[in-house]
Amino acid sequence: MSETLATTVTPAGDPAADPAADPSYDPRTGAQHGSVPHTTPEHVAAILRRAQSAASVIAGTSPATRQGWLTAIADSLRTHEDELVRLAGEETGLGADRLHGELAKCATSTVFYGAVAAEGSYLGAGTEGIGGDSTLSRWNIPLGPVAVFGASNFPFGFGVIGHDVASALGAGCPVIVKAHPAHPRLSVRLAELVSDALERAGAPVGSYALVVGFDAGLQLVDAAEITAIAFTGSQGGGMALVQRAAARGVPVFAEMGTVNPVFVTTDAAADSAQIAAGFVGSFTLGAGQFCTKPGLLFAPAGAGIFDAVRAELRQAPSAPLLTAGIARGYRAGLTGLAEAAAAAGNAGADSAEADSAEADSAEPDSADGYAVDPQAFLVRLEDLHPGSRLLEECFGPVALVCEYEDAAAALDALTRLQPSLVASVFTGGPDDPESAGVVGRLLGQVGRVALNAWPTGVATSWSMQHGGPWPATSRSEATSVGAGALDRFVRPVAVQNADPAHLPAGLHPDNPWRIPRRIDGKLTLPAS
Amino acid sequence: MSETLATTVTPAGDPAADPAADPSYDPRTGAQHGSVPHTTPEHVAAILRRAQSAASVIAGTSPATRQGWLTAIADSLRTHEDELVRLAGEETGLGADRLHGELAKCATSTVFYGAVAAEGSYLGAGTEGIGGDSTLSRWNIPLGPVAVFGASNFPFGFGVIGHDVASALGAGCPVIVKAHPAHPRLSVRLAELVSDALERAGAPVGSYALVVGFDAGLQLVDAAEITAIAFTGSQGGGMALVQRAAARGVPVFAEMGTVNPVFVTTDAAADSAQIAAGFVGSFTLGAGQFCTKPGLLFAPAGAGIFDAVRAELRQAPSAPLLTAGIARGYRAGLTGLAEAAAAAGNAGADSAEADSAEADSAEPDSADGYAVDPQAFLVRLEDLHPGSRLLEECFGPVALVCEYEDAAAALDALTRLQPSLVASVFTGGPDDPESAGVVGRLLGQVGRVALNAWPTGVATSWSMQHGGPWPATSRSEATSVGAGALDRFVRPVAVQNADPAHLPAGLHPDNPWRIPRRIDGKLTLPAS
């Protein structure tokens, strides 16, 4: 199946000598190890044609068939775990424990999306009489080839493999992935494994392919064959995709992320040391490169949360960021936050932090690669106004703490934040009088509220909602994790007066796929 | 509840003397009868504030409560049926039979959306364990105030009342309607009835309001309070709304419509007279002012379908179009079609039609109002190329016939059409060898395929899909008729480790709303 792969790994060389390649860097040292050539326009065009041919074949397969494909991918990932973790470590610097965990979760999630497809609710199948001899049947069909633009920060979770790829395949769509330039060699290897697994499992040629390079990505966005786009990354990148694809009406499911807030009630603040430890652990996880990173914590004044956070930070290790660009962005972001915090009148407890941010803003020693230190800033409630630099996401291990005098005012400030993917609320338990009100207010702002839990854990499950109102995502009805992820890649069709020959097997009278169906208006389950 | 109404009816007058009003015209005569003043910016702002206040109240109501509100609206419509049909006739010229039918269907549909809300599947409710003591619960919450831009052609179906309004209220969203300028007096009266019914049924102030005037509509599109927009109308209008609302990430559900195709197989063409009669009946229904109008019929050559269509047209009466602008557009469209058909080499059977179209292009005698004659053109398969004027929708009682020699080539031509809301396929029955292939091809192009039925009948039911790929609509996953219509106005949220106080009653252990729920991954139905 190597013909569906766009790239081969070239030996290490000077990237300046080959502008048509993605160089591979080790974030731990900054050293380059090889590069991967960009996919040519002709090759992208051939990949698109194959994907379109595959689309109608895949659309005719049963969900259980595609479940088999996804299981085969997961098996291959598990078989090659050590090799993949090593390669990912060389290109992300994320550390073996994190990468083993992410790969294991990815394999489990891939199997889960197969189970969601096989369960069949996503098909939205139903049939009914509509008067006289007329009938109407409805179900969801796959959109067609999907382009996936993966993220730098989850080499296994969101990209060449992971949630977008598995949910699109589960829904019956061929997938073409644009490799993230942060891990080109890993991308090529993963794509080989996925292509081989799909071929062995019987998926048609064209079900899956990888392309490399910015221009190849643009070609996907503009291609008539591409029917939907999934993106995980920055607001700038996501918005540019949304705008470009809008011209031909192609949906872009961009999970961009903003600042995720944490609210600590008065009752919960008693255990400030535990909250501070959890907060630092959460916002420095993966070197703070999570779209679910808690970026702004509201806690009652007088509980000493910010001091406790600073104490925790003294023990927090430095860690390499994913790319030189992210490291530069982080240092610039710290400078901006320090200036904004200082301008906002923070001459007190946080000035030391602001100073250290300034001191940190030089480029790192090359031997340290892209390593940075975690940081926290104290901010005032009244400075969290629309347009403030304090409210922009800063990718990396930095967060803000706001110590409020008045919970209601703090909640009002929360509603001035951009909507976000997730918020955490720490309460004193079910009897905490603030609990229900805070959650109710936050639900209007976010996709998920985590009660007495940190936002960085995202379970792949039936009820997960990993999304949120614009501009946290481009589509508030969508989720990129959990069973609902398949819904992004289908659309409903109805056929009036259909014979069985016009319908998927799931709507045949004997329900061979054993899926939930709405018959004459009544939701019915398959006999168990 | 008159404070929520933006307008009062003024006596007849010269519209030129009052640019800040929508004049009311009778399409049957062209005469003006009164006008309705535009809503001032201050009044629109007040309406928006009330809607936002109402939103959180409505979001806290049970689906059954809102079902009661919708039933109250339907009851009021039925009580005032004669008055409303008379008023609608004066502003649309659509005729009493059609208008009585449309109003009755609207009342039934309004009740249906209440039943869909109460059934509760639209809530997507579920809860599950996600490891340890952690739980995750998910359900759909209403987006907030919805702006509805209604259509000229369905005064009761899509506008001040009808599918968008009822499904948005059913989903828990306040609604602000922009009155269509084609029927301002009817809009005001309908809005009074809806507001009164809602008030009597206990809905909060701000649940519903009407605004009048182009500028008031723009103000809604730009208002921070508006969280979604539903539009039914032209491609130009829909696209403008989509583009404007994109700047702040507000979803626009625009049902715009394109040319809906009809495919007649060789087996089905034997009964050409019946097909021709059905076709003419369908494309002249409501003076051809249906978004589901069949605009292009493919039939095998030699069956004499076009001749039969022309014979039917000789008996088809002229009918007034809805507005002077639509009548002008129709005549210009006929001229364009005649030119395109002539340029495409149609010097034969259709030249008489082309001539009559030319002859018709003058402005009508004022005594005839906006009356026009139905028309048909014969076109060649090879002239149906992208960009051809023949493939643009022409609103009004006109359609094209294409007599094909080769069914496969005709199907290929069909895939060159813009995607559409609906296609009809006429077959010789279940044994027709062409049937399954034609339906399969068309499903990639449309939202609905009607087998051996004309496309103009749209049932309000659980399985209806009234939508289609871009640019037939702006969102191929959406439907503006049927149970799925509610899904446009909600988004999912998840709460981790929720107590009952954080959840809607539908997710309480005893399931008091008696809704389907997914518990630990398993879809469960309420005990019957």
Whole-Å CA distances, B26 to B92, B181, B321, B380: 7, 12, 10, 39
Whole-Å CA distances, A527 to A166, A511, A512, A517, B135: 28, 10, 11, 12, 28
| Model confidence at B350: pLDDT above 80 | no
Q: Do A461 and B130 touch (CB under 8 A)?
A: yes
Say which residues have a Cβ less than 8 Å from residue A79's Cβ, sequence separation at least 6. Answer: none
**Facing residue for B450 by CB, picked from A138, A496, A501:** A496
Residue-wise pLDDT for B224-248, tens only, equals 999 999 999 999 999 999 999 998 9
Strand, coil or helix: what is A109?
Answer: helix
Measured from the Cβ of residue A331, the count of other Cβ atoms closer than 10 Å reads 20
Q: Of A10-24, A340-354, B298-312, which range is least confident? A: A340-354
Measured from the Cβ of residue A381, the count of other Cβ atoms closer than 10 Å reads 17
Is residue B514 exposed (0-12), middle (13-18) or buried (19+ Cβ within 10 Å)? middle
Q: Of B5-14, B225-234, B390-399, B476-485, which range is least confident? A: B5-14
- Of A91, A192, A255, A353, the catalytic one is A255
- Segment B96-110 mean pLDDT: 97
Contacts of A521 in chain B (CB under 8 A): 461-462
- Which residue in B has a C-alpha nearest to residue A134's C-alpha? B453
Residue-wise pLDDT for B135-172, tens only, equals 999 999 999 999 999 999 999 999 999 999 999 999 99
Instruction: Using alpha carbons, select from A86, A68, A83, A115 the residue that is nearest to residue A26.
Output: A86
Residue A433 CA to its chain's centroid (Å): 34
Query: What pLDDT, on the 0 to 100 scale, is given for residue A387?
Result: 84
Query: What pLDDT, on the 0 to 100 scale, is given for residue A317?
Result: 87
Instruction: Using alpha carbons, select from A419, A441, A412, A439 the residue that is nearest to residue A427.
Output: A439
Instruction: Using alpha carbons, select from A248, A213, A215 the residue that is nearest to residue A229.
Output: A248
Q: How many helices (H) and strands (E) does chain B have?
A: 14, 20
Q: How confident is the model at residue A389 (pLDDT cuts 50, 70, 90)?
A: confident
Residue-wise pLDDT for A453-487, tens only, equals 999 989 999 999 999 999 999 999 999 999 999 99
Beta strands in B277-339 (DSSP E): 294-300, 319-320
d(CA A231, CA A211): 15
Query: What pLDDT, on the 0 to 100 scale, is given for residue A459?
Result: 96
Minimum distance, in Å, between the CA of residue A91 and any CA atom of chain B? 31
Which of 148-207 (A) contact B at CB < 8 A?
Answer: none
Q: How confident is the model at residue B392 (pLDDT cuts 50, 70, 90)?
A: confident
d(CA B264, CA B251): 37
Query: What pLDDT, on the 0 to 100 scale, is given for residue A17?
Result: 55
**Facing residue for A462 by CB, picked from B430, B479, B518:** B518
Instruction: Using alpha carbons, select from B143, B125, B119, B139 the residue that is nearest to residue B64.
Output: B119
Q: Do B451 and A143 touch (CB under 8 A)?
A: no
Contacts of A525 in chain B (CB under 8 A): 523, 525
Instruction: Using alpha carbons, select from A375, A381, A430, A384 the residue that is nearest to residue A408.
Output: A381
B270 touches chain A (CB under 8 A): no
Mutate to test the interface with A, among B265, B449, B463 (most CBs of A within 10 A): B463
Contacts of A484 in chain B (CB under 8 A): 124, 492
Q: Do B469 and A491 touch (CB under 8 A)?
A: yes
- Which residue in B has a C-alpha nearest to residue A144's C-alpha? B444
d(CA B503, CA B494): 10
Q: Who has greater pLDDT, B6 or A440?
A: A440
Residue B41 CA to its chain's centroid (Å): 28
User: Cα-Cα-Cα-Cα dihedral of B329, B335, B340, B345, to 10°?
Assistant: 160
Query: Which uninterrupted H or E stretch holds B371?
Result: strand B371-372
Minimum distance, in Å, between the CA of residue A342 and any CA atom of chain B? 31
Beta strands in A38-189 (DSSP E): 126-129, 135-142, 146-149, 175-178
- Mean per-residue pLDDT over chain B, rounded: 91
**Facing residue for A130 by CB, picked from B124, B251, B461:** B461
Contacts of A516 in chain B (CB under 8 A): 523
Minimum distance, in Å, between the CA of residue B263 and any CA atom of chain A? 14
Query: What pLDDT, on the 0 to 100 scale, is given for residue A505?
Result: 97
Instruction: Using alpha carbons, select from A197, A196, A147 the residue that is nearest to residue A175.
Output: A147
> What domains can be seen in chain A, in order of their start residue?
27-256+480-486 (3.40.605.10), 260-451 (3.40.309.10)
Contacts of A171 in chain B (CB under 8 A): none
B224 touches chain A (CB under 8 A): no
Q: Give the up-direction half-sphere exposure of residue A271: CA atoms within 13 A in the CB hemisphere.
A: 11
Catalogue the active-site residues of B.
255, 291
- Which residue in B has a C-alpha nearest to residue A430's C-alpha? B499
Q: Are A126 and A518 in contact (CB under 8 A)?
A: yes
Residue B443 φ then ψ, to 5°: -60, -25
Instruction: Using alpha carbons, select from A480, A515, A137 the residue that is nearest to residue B523.
Output: A515
B250 touches chain A (CB under 8 A): yes
Instruction: Using alpha carbons, select from A197, A152, A157, A198 the residue that is nearest to residue A179.
Output: A152
ipTM attached to this prediction: 0.94
Judging by DSSP bridges, how do beta strands B375-379 and B126-129 pair with one another? unpaired
- Which residue in A has a C-alpha nearest to residue B254's C-alpha? A249
Alpha helices in A431-479 (DSSP H): 435-443
Q: How confident is the model at residue B345 (pLDDT cuts 50, 70, 90)?
A: low
Percent of chain B with pLDDT over 90: 84
| Model confidence at A354: pLDDT above 50 | no
Strand ranges of the sheet holding B126-129, from the earlier edge strand across to the other edge: A375-379, A398-404, A294-300, A260-264, A420-426, A446-451, B490-496, B135-142, B126-129, B517-519, B522-524
What does DSSP assign to residue B526? P
Strand, coil or helix: what is B353?
Answer: helix
Judging by DSSP bridges, how do beta strands B135-142 and B146-149 pair with one another? unpaired
Which tokens in the block code for residue B123? 């809530």
Which tokens in the block code for residue B9? 């009816």
| Model confidence at A174: pLDDT above 70 | yes
Vertex B201: Cα angle to B200 and B207 (nearest 5): 95
**Facing residue for A448 by CB, picked from B144, B439, B494:** B494
- Which residue in A has a C-alpha nearest to residue B115's C-alpha? A521
B240 touches chain A (CB under 8 A): no
Contacts of B492 in chain A (CB under 8 A): 447, 465, 467, 477, 479, 484
Which tokens in the block code for residue A268? 């919960």
Q: Of A5-9, A187-191, B225-229, B510-514, which range is least confident? A: A5-9
Residue-wise pLDDT for A490-521, tens only, equals 999 999 999 999 999 999 999 999 999 999 99
Active site residue A291: yes
Residue-wise pLDDT for B432-457, tens only, equals 999 999 999 999 999 999 999 999 98
Q: Do A498 and B435 touch (CB under 8 A)?
A: no
Query: What pLDDT, on the 0 to 100 scale, is given for residue A477?
Result: 97
What does DSSP assign to residue B365? P
CA-CA-CA-CA torsion sign (B212, B213, B218, B222)? negative
d(CA A403, CA A275): 13
Which of 313-372 (B) contact A at CB < 8 A?
Answer: none
Q: Do A498 and B439 touch (CB under 8 A)?
A: yes
Instruction: Using alpha carbons, select from B109, B113, B64, B166 the residue that is nearest to residue B515.
Output: B64
A461 touches chain B (CB under 8 A): yes
Which tokens in the block code for residue B281? 């009946």
Which tokens in the block code for residue A219? 């070609």
Minimum distance, in Å, between the CA of residue A516 and any CA atom of chain B? 8
Q: Are B53 and B144 in contact (CB under 8 A)?
A: no
Measured from the Cβ of residue A107, the count of other Cβ atoms closer than 10 Å reads 23
Is residue B351 exposed (0-12), middle (13-18) or buried (19+ Cβ within 10 Å)? middle
d(CA A375, CA A337): 10
Strand, coil or helix: what is B487?
Answer: helix
A126 touches chain B (CB under 8 A): yes
Residue with tokens 């639509």: B326
- Of A106, A173, A291, A394, the catalytic one is A291
Contacts of A430 in chain B (CB under 8 A): 499, 501
Which tokens in the block code for residue B364? 């009508």
d(CA B391, CA B416): 9
Which tokens in the block code for residue A106? 């990815």
Query: What pLDDT, on the 0 to 100 scale, is given for residue B528?
Result: 73
Which of 399-438 (A) contact B at CB < 8 A?
Answer: 430, 435-436
Residue with tokens 């259509």: B151
A273 touches chain B (CB under 8 A): no
Q: How confident is the model at residue A304 (pLDDT cuts 50, 70, 90)?
A: very high
| Model confidence at B60: pLDDT above 80 | yes
d(CA B58, CA B74): 19
Query: What pLDDT, on the 0 to 100 scale, is given for residue B201?
Result: 98
Q: How confident is the model at residue A364 (pLDDT cuts 50, 70, 90)?
A: very low
Q: Are A439 and A286 in contact (CB under 8 A)?
A: no
| Model confidence at A5: pLDDT above 60 | no
Residue A110 CA to its chain's centroid (Å): 14
Query: What pLDDT, on the 0 to 100 scale, is given for residue A360?
Result: 35
